[in-house]
Structure formats: C-alpha cells, structure tokens
Structure 1
Amino acid sequence: MIHLAELRLRVPAGAERAYPFTVPAVHAMTTLALDAPVTCFVGDNGSGKSTLLEGIAVAAGLPAIGTDDLARDPSLEAAGALAAALTLSWTHRTPRGFFLRAEDFFGFAKRLARERADMLRQLDETAREYAAARRAPDALGRAQGPLRASLADMERRYGVDLDANSHGQAFLRVFGDRLVPEGLYLLDEPEAALSPQSQLALLAMLIDMVGQGAQFVIATHSPILLALPGARLYTFDTAPPERVAYETLEHVWLTRDFLGDPGRYLRALGMG
C-alpha cells in the first residue's frame, strides 16, 4: 500500500546558500515520487539521502525511536528547515509507523535499561514503606500493581535486559515488536547494527510487512536491503536524485567485484 505518494520541494527565497539546501541532490530536487511500497535512497556519505529522510520524518510528524521530539532535537535542526520546505502528498494518511536512525537505537536501549531500573527501585521503596507501616500484603499488591504490569509488559516486549543482547539481536527485537500493518516506516541506515545474517532477517520482516500494507522509505548502503523485491531505488550521487536499477549501483557491483577477487583490491591498496 502507498501511503506517502510524493514529495515536492520548494527552496525558500534566500536559503539557497544555507545547509541543507546547498547539498547538490537536495538543491536540484523539485519532486520525488514514492510510488512503491518500498523506496530506497542510496548514495555516498554526505550525498543528502539521510538529510532528506530526516526532513520527511519531521514533515510527516512521525514518532521516532530514541528521540522524544523530532522538532526539538538539536541534531535535526537542518532537517526541520528542510521539512518546512517540503510538501507531502498522501494517498492514505496513516497514524501508524515511526522514524528510526541507527544511532538513536543505542540510546533507546540504554533508556529502556534506566526505566527498568527505576521501576525496580520504586517497587523496592514501596515494599519497604508498606513493611514499615505494617500494611497488609494485599494493600501492597494493589499499590504495586500498575508498576508491575508496566514492568511485565516491558520485559515481555524487550526482554529482561535489552542492552545485554548483541546490538543486532536487540535491534531486531525492538524493530519486530514495533512493526504493525499499514504503517509508514522511515529507516536511516538500519543495517548499521546488523550482521549479513541479521540483514536477511530484517529483509524478511520488511517483505512480510509490505504484504500487510506497510510502506518503507529507507536510506541504506546495504546491497542486501537494496535487493528487496519491487523496491524503487534512487541514487543521490546525481543532482537531482535519479531512479536506478539494482545492478547498476556502485554499492552492488563494487561489493560483488571485491568478493570475487579481494586480492586484486588489496594489491591495488598496497596490501597484497
């Protein structure tokens, strides 16, 4: 299902020399069609793909994993300026979905750990207070009930210690728990925490959710994620971004070429 169908960009007068409008791919853009359940932005570092994705997230008002308020996040100041210049066209405005930057996920895991520790501390303090006051056990149970329910729900969804898992395991657990049908999901380099095997697991999740009406816009370097069937691929190494075929992407042919003969590349680097 297509929720977000197109974006249009109009650079504000006088902003042409201000970041992020100085990024060539952004500066030259007027419209970008998002006419597939999966759209991938690909390009070199600094090409503008993540910046545009952040701008879309702010403009769409999506909740974010790891960031409480996109509009107030200082790291998204440029994205806010870009969002103000974007007009989003919807075929079906969905309240479901989220925005995820790989770097925000690690902070999210640590925040969950702090919240769990705080819940356990509150439970312990309540138990000591009721014991000192010689309150009945059933009164303590009623007092602790809501907090225990919240703790049990957190542990059911994320485990006892999400931060104790590998980054890849924790990422997939959070990601899988948050996905719901017919949502819009904006993902910025989700492969950062994932091994190739875990990228395949994520790919399977994406395919499953597309079958349930979800739409994804992904900024990625991963040839594995870029291979998602039916994905529309845009390269940000041109100005404006252009639609490209999977086989023509440098990320794909360079990875394949290297794996076919790594010694040749190492010799060229003076290491062979």
Structure 2
Amino acid sequence: MVYLNVFKFPNDDMEFDFLLEEKRMCYDSFYPFKILSRHGFERIDFKPITILYGGNGSGKSTALNVMAEKIGIHRDSIYNKSNFYSAYVNMCELELEVDIPKNSRIITSDDVFDYMLNIRNLNEGIDQKREELFEEYLDAKYSHFRMKSIADYEQLKKVNAARSKTQSRFVRSELMANVREYSNGESAFKYFIEKIGENGLYMLDEPENSLSPKRQMELVKFIEESARYLGCQFIISTHSPFLLAMNGAKIYDLDEDPVDVKRWTELENVRTYYEFFKRHEEEF
C-alpha cells in the first residue's frame, strides 16, 4: 500500500534565496538547511517499502524526521528542532495517494530505548515488592495473630493464606503478574510488534539498533508481510544489510552525490560485508 506518493525537499537555490531574504547567512548553523541539498536530494518517489541508506551524517534521519513533521504523524519521543526547522518544513511539498491513517507513526531509537528502560524499571519495582512479600509471608505464617475486630479481617485472610500456601504460591497470589524480563533485543522487537498495526504509514529510524541479526531477520519478515497483506507503507532509514535486502524495497543511497536509487548489492556497506566474508570463506 502507498499512502505517501511523493515528497519534495527544497533545492539548493530555494534554500539560498530563503536564507538570503531572511538575512540569516551569518549563522554558523542553520540545520536542517544544506543537509540534503548538498547531495542533490530533492525528491522521493515511494513504494510500499522505501529505504534511505547512508552513513552517519548522510542525512537519512534528518529526511525521515522532516517528513514526519510535515505529515504530522505521531511520535513518542521529543525531537529537538532548530530555529530554522519550521521554515524548512514549510518549504517541503508532498503528494498523497490516499489520506494517511491516524495510527501512522515514526519510531526512533529513542522511542525503543525509553520502552526498554520502562520495562526494566517496572521489573525492578516488582522485584522489590517481591522481597517485601517474602518477609510479609514469614511474619504472617509464624505470627501469633488473633482477630480482635472487623478491622483485623484483612490481616486474618493474609495469615490464613500464608499458613495454607507455600512461600512462592503466596507471593504469586499477592503480587501483580510479573513482567517478563526480556533482553534488550527481545524488548526492542516487542516494541515494533506492538506499535505497528494494520493500514498505516510507519517511519522507522535505524530499527536495527538493539536487534541481533536473528531479530533483524524476524523484523524484516514482519515488515514484508505487513506491507504485502496488512495495508502498511514503510519508510526506513538503515545501513543494516538484513533490512536492505528486503523484497521489493526501493533504496535511496544518500552517500551518492547526487543521491541515486540502487540495488542493495551495490551499496558500499553491503559490499564491505561481502568482501569480509569472502576473505574468510574457507573458515566456514
């Protein structure tokens, strides 16, 4: 499915005219101006899966965030914007195939990190509560409690529960269901599965972060199936060879000047992996 059909960034002449008119050429930094235009990156024509490839500083995350801002899709983490950000976004243009669904969103590394941190903090809180319940169990089981009034009823139930159950069963019955202690990779993968639904436009900024190669391949399969069967469109910034190899993906190489569309096997990062494993082929 394609919701966003075309996106246009301001070219070098447009940026120069704007900055000159605003008398802002004296600034040392006017981000995001001059980031994409320096490589002639002016237009993206989308497919159900479109990938922005490039090294650090190539502008792939900038492009993704500018598009998300222009479209107005949901994001979880706060994105720091420069003084010129709104002006740059206003200069961008887009063409829609159909209206973009409300459940569309951009998912960044910060979103995934915050999610993993929240799970870790929740588990730490549960672990602390569990230790308190262990002590409570021993106090209740071996106390000489006698009910004196209705106010003691809750404590009576706790004493009876402690005396009729093992320590582990008592703790499980009193404690909220524990959140499973996922590894970082499992938590990151779980986040993508939870946030990506049917019929939506999803922008993923380097989703390979925190994912093992195996998890990356699982994410690839999930994205391919969501695009094919669930009416989803994906725009992804990445340099992971696993994601770059996705079936039917259109790849923009932001390391090229000007930016060009390439096959995944032509990309420098992929060629580096290929040559490395080729040199060590006999060791496998």
Q: What TM-score, normalized to structure 1? A: 0.72
Partner of 1:252: 270
Partner of 1:270: none
2:72 counterpart letter in structure 1: G
2:68 counterpart letter in structure 1: A
The 3-state SS of whatever aligns with 2:234 is strand
1:233 paired with 2:251, answer: yes
Partner of 2:261: 243
Match of 2:31 among 15, 19, 33: 19
**Structure 1 range deviating more: 219-228 or 99-108:** 99-108
1:30 paired with 2:30, answer: no
Question: Deviation string for 1:58-91 (max 9, x for gaps)?
Answer: 11212124x1xx5xx32x4476554333222111
The 3-state SS of whatever aligns with 1:7 is strand
Q: Is the 8 A contact 1:49 1:219 kept in 2?
A: yes
Aligned length: 226
Match of 2:64 among 31, 42, 53: 53
1:64 paired with 2:81, answer: no
1:4 paired with 2:4, answer: yes
Deviation at residue 31 of structure 1 after TM alignment: 2.0
Match of 1:184 among 160, 177, 201: 201
Distance across 2 between alignment mates of 1:116 and 1:81: 43
Could you say if the C-alpha distance between residues 100 and 261 of structure 1 is closer, same or farther in structure 2, counting changes exceeding 3 Å?
Answer: same
Partner of 1:160: 179
Q: Is the 8 A contact 1:189 1:218 kept in 2?
A: yes
Rg: which structure is higher?
2
1:222 counterpart letter in structure 2: S
1:218 paired with 2:224, answer: no
The 3-state SS of whatever aligns with 1:64 is coil
Distance across 2 between alignment mates of 1:244 and 1:222: 15
**Structure 1 range deviating more: 211-220 or 88-97:** 88-97
Q: Is the 8 A contact 2:36 2:63 kept in 1?
A: no
Structure 1 residues not aligned, in runs of 5+: 122-132, 138-151, 264-272
Match of 1:83 among 68, 79, 89: 89
1:105 paired with 2:112, answer: yes
Q: Is the 8 A contact 1:26 1:52 kept in 2?
A: no
Q: Is the 8 A contact 1:235 1:243 kept in 2?
A: yes
**Structure 1 range deviating more: 187-196 or 107-116:** 107-116
Deviation at residue 224 of structure 1 after TM alignment: 0.7
Identity %: 27
Deviation at residue 24 of structure 1 after TM alignment: 4.9
For the aligned residues, what is the CA RMSD? 3.2
Structure 2 residues not aligned, in runs of 5+: 129-149, 155-175
Deviation at residue 20 of structure 1 after TM alignment: 2.0
Distance across 2 between alignment mates of 1:26 and 1:54: 18
The 3-state SS of whatever aligns with 1:182 is coil
